[in-house]
Amino acid sequence: MVAQTVINRLRIRLGLDREWWLILVAGGLGVVMGTAAIGFILPVRWLENLPEFVGQKFAGLSQVLVLLAPCVGALLTVFVFWLFTTNFRGHGVTRVMLAVNREQSNLPMRIGIRHWLASTCPIGLGGSAGPEGPIVTIGSTVGSNISRWLKGDSARAATLLGCGSAAGLAAVFNAPLAAIFFNMEVILRDFWLRTFTPIVIASVVSAATAQMWLESSESLFGGGEEFFANTSESFAIGQIFFYVVFGFLSALIAVAFTRCLPISEKQFLRIPVHPLLRPLIGAILLGGMGAAWISLNKSDSGYPPFLGVGYAATRSYNMMLPLMLTAVIAALASRLLNRDSIYTAELASLGIRLGGMSDLSVLRRLYVSNIPLDTAITVSADDELSKVLGISAEHGVDDFVVLHRNGVYRGMVTSNDLRQALLNRQVIGLLSVGEVTRDDLPVIYINETLDVVLDRFSRHDVQRLTVLSRDQPAKVLGLLSRASLMNRYQRELDAS
């Protein structure tokens, strides 16, 4: 009895009183993604070695193979894009961040399948790309769909999405620590203990699962241990200057890349060809560079280094200090030069701005259902505007919900609309409610998190928005005020 009491208190203290099942699911998700990573990378390895193997057998065809391999990969990618269409135009990590911040961590399974197939072909056949984005998207999709299958809410869906993403990265690169912090800082922007614990478990279990299948400590993708075999084991204060300089140079390169990428993409989109043929154009350019490289390096029969760019992790704790110093300098310098990262810049182009990590983590834990709603006064679009003004004057109501004849939500008449109408009293008797209704205002659903709601308030200069139920869209539940939202947020900050 005493032991059980201690365990219960410890579980509550750690924030696992209601989320203990997430620990079990995170472990299972780690096993799934550790196995899935094997299935993702091994075909890529086989495809990577195929052109070079054939080139060694038929040395005279090296240039032809280097030119054709990226083109074949591009054509296969085009087929996958045609088979699994999507309305989103952007990169995989950005799509995951959009789901976390605006779509309650909901990712359809077809997105994961699309990225799995569409990335295997170009990476394996020489495309200058890596598996980081695809494995993040694949793992996030698996985690999101497991949450949906378990009927979890959006907060738990975000956690499992992060577990899947971190597990995929950890398995592919055998770098669970990097995977954990990438997801906490970039994907979820949340360092809450209840989020951190399942992600750690998923990452470690996934990396261990992948190594179990491989029977080796080598990473699935990237440089091996021999890559860092000759690195210095010492780190002296005299070296700090060089790492600081390197950090600033890294920031300059990163900012230049972040700013040039969208410009080059826009210019590429102007090419007057069918959108599905654009990957082939890029592949032809890349293959041409590879063929030229072979011509200029006849003594070297190796594969061109810019085809199939890899990723390397040191796995050396002796390099942690200089790595952290360089990374911090680079991050600070790049933030001074450019507000957005390569991921948030793409979201900003879609009109989505992310707040601070502490703000987002608090707001994602709260739902509209956690805030008391104001009573909604409903009127018909066919009513006379004078009737609404009378109700407002008698009962002190400022905002009205407007319904269609069949009782379905149409829009709102706000206090600003009423004030504008009072400036032209001579026409009030001629106007109907429908003629002054705001049809552009968004609605809020009772199960949405407050980070999404706050974003909607920030886009419209109104004090209240209508709350509906997803199960019964025609049913108006009430009005949520901006003041109530901010008061609830402040109370949560005080309590944390």
In the chain, the amino acid numbered 29 is: L
Q: Which CATH number fits domain 368-495: 3.10.580.10, 3.40.50.300, 3.40.50.920, 3.40.190.10?
A: 3.10.580.10
pTM: 0.73
R_g of the chain, CA atoms, integer Å = 28
Token reading at 177: 């620590």
Q: Which fold has domain 9-221+273-315?
A: Clc chloride channel (1.10.3080)
Rounded distance between C-alpha atoms, residue 358 and residue 277, angstroms: 43
The reported pLDDT for the residue numbered 77 is: 85
Compute φ and ψ for 451, nearest 5 degrees: -65, -40
Share of the chain residues as helix, strand and coil, in percent rounded to the nearest 5? 65, 5, 30
The SS3 assignment for 439 reads: coil
Tokens matching residue 357: 């990590």
How is the beta sheet containing 444-445 ordered, strand by strand?
444-445, 464-468, 476-481
How far apart, in whole angstroms, are the C-alpha atoms of residue 385 and residue 435? 9
Are 438 and 400 in contact by the 8 Å Cβ rule? The answer is no
Nearest to 175 by CA among 323, 43, 25: 323
Which among 162, 53, 10, 143 is positioned nearest to 101, based on CA atoms?
162
- The Cα–Cα gap between 260 and 253 comes to 10
List pLDDT tens digits, range 305-321: 555 543 434 555 567 77
Collect the ranges in the chain with pLDDT lower than 50.
299, 301, 309-313
Q: Are 31 and 205 in contact (CB under 8 A)?
A: yes
pLDDT given for residue 299 in this prediction: 47
Within a 10 A sphere around the Cβ of 132, how many other Cβ atoms? 18
| 456 vs 448: CA distance, rounded Å | 12
pLDDT at 35: 94
Residue tagged 């994602």 (tokens): 364
CB neighbours (10 Å) of residue 137?
A: 27
